Amino acid sequence: MEDLGVAFWSGKRVLLSGHTGFKGGWLALWLHQLGARVTGIGLAPTTEPNLYQFAGIADFCESHLQDIRDAEALADVVRLADPQIVFHLAAQPLVRASYRDPLGTFATNVQGTVNLLDALRSLQSLRVVVAITTDKVYQNNEQPFPYRETDPLGGHDPYSASKAAAELVIASYRAAFLSEQGVAIATARAGNVIGGGDWSEDRLIPDAVRAWSSETPLQVRRPEATRPWQHVLEPLNGYLRLAEQLWHQPALAGAYNFGPETHEAASVRQVISQARDLFQRGEIHWEDGTQGPHEAGWLALEIAKARQCLGVHPRWTLQESLQRTMSWYRRQANGESAAELCAQDIAAFQVAASSRCNA
């Protein structure tokens, strides 16, 4: 059940917000490989280097560099694209950045979502919307068991709170407007993602690659913080599968967690120690966890709903995910094509699905 269908995606008109980002870039490449006609909207990349340029994402889609906070410009792109399926990934995605700019974070993550959903109300051909939020939408009580989709929403920091608020916006638009139009809309709550091509600030693996490549020590603020780490292709596979299933079964609309098995949740110390071994060099300075603003100490997701309703299962262990991630960065730094490296990982991921189905 897990194999994604080229027959389904071929020729589908897809609007992808956030195509200039890390996850959005990978998804644009995968959708192109599946034969979809992709229109992307997002801000110009904020880092140098970035996957959007290195992988030539603009060559694979109709690219619009615009801000989703501009409702009128966004609506123009939506009308032009006339999508059948929408993936909404555009966001201010960083916890620490949300402390520095809470107004911008709420404007992008809440009002930007409102702007997109309102623009979608006028479309006749639209069938499916998959809106990406985060594993951090839950009211985190540092509980010793994984969060389920029915657990209360919350958010201590502005990023988490803005994504929880976006969940409420999406539920409102589903109930008040989109379900009546025959549009199935779901939210996807994914764990921490790793993979080649992420150069964002304040993310563990990109920070490590930058530090170790320049032969400077990596400062690790909260070594004991535990998260549901997964390769970027794991949630993207879930998003694609969710869209396919919603097309055929709109009643599946709702919220879905995508993450590793519970026992695969790991501390920052475990992840970065393995990453250094795979990178084959690098110094680490472990701090005591008191620096900087509040961040949750323990977080894991219950993924039974995605398994049972969508047939989505984790494919790569944390060790394999880290191995592929660090290999991607080393090979790209040695001159290999970013687009080709992504294509190779996608192909390997699909082989893992076939192996699982034949086991």
Query: For 229-266, how does the pLDDT look when each residue is reduced to its tens digit (9 = 90+)?
Result: 999 999 999 999 999 999 999 999 999 999 999 888 89
Residue scoring higher pLDDT (280 or 151): 151
Backbone angles phi, psi at 3, to 5 degrees: -60, 130
Distance CA 327, CA 74 (A): 37
Residue 139 burial (C-beta neighbours within 10 Å; 0-12, 13-18, 19+): middle
How wide is the angle at C-alpha 93 spanned by C-alphas 296 and 96, nearest 5°? 50
pLDDT at 201: 87
User: Which residues, 6 or more positions from 248, have their beta carbon under 8 angstroms from its beta carbon?
Assistant: none
Q: What are 148's two structure tokens?
A: 């389920």
pLDDT band at 359 (very low <50, low <70, confident <90, very high): very low
Q: How confident is the model at residue 4 (pLDDT cuts 50, 70, 90)?
A: low
Beta bridge partners of residue 189, listed in sequence order: 257
Give the pLDDT confidence score for residue 1 in this predicted structure.
42
pTM over 0.85: yes
Q: Is 322 left (phi over 0), alpha (psi -120 to 50) or beta?
A: alpha
What gap in Å lies between CA 259 and CA 281, rounded to an integer? 29
Q: What is the structure's pLDDT at 217?
A: 95
pLDDT at 292 over 70: no
Residue 25's CB: how many other CB atoms inside 10 A? 32
Residues 52-64 pLDDT 10s? 999 999 999 999 9
Exposure string for 293-302, b = 16+ CB within 10 A, e = fewer = eebbebbbbb
Model confidence at 294, pLDDT cuts 50, 70, 90, reads low
Task: Quote the pLDDT of residue 296.
Answer: 63
| Integer Cα distance of 155 and 169 in angstroms | 15
Half-sphere exposure at residue 233, Cβ-oriented, CA atoms within 13 angstroms: 28
Between strands 193-194 and 128-132, the pairing is: unpaired
pLDDT > 60? residue 205: yes
DSSP 147: B
What is the C-alpha separation between 195 and 55, in angstroms, rounded?
14
Give dist(CA 119, CA 229) in Å, integer. Answer: 34
Distance of CA 355 to the CA centre of its chain: 25
pLDDT above 80 for 273: yes
* 151 vs 196: CA distance, rounded Å: 32
pLDDT at 180: 94
Confidence of residue 118 (pLDDT cuts 50, 70, 90): very high
From the centroid of its chain, how far is CA 167? 15
Q: What is the pLDDT of residue 291?
A: 66
The owner of tokens 């340029």 is 53
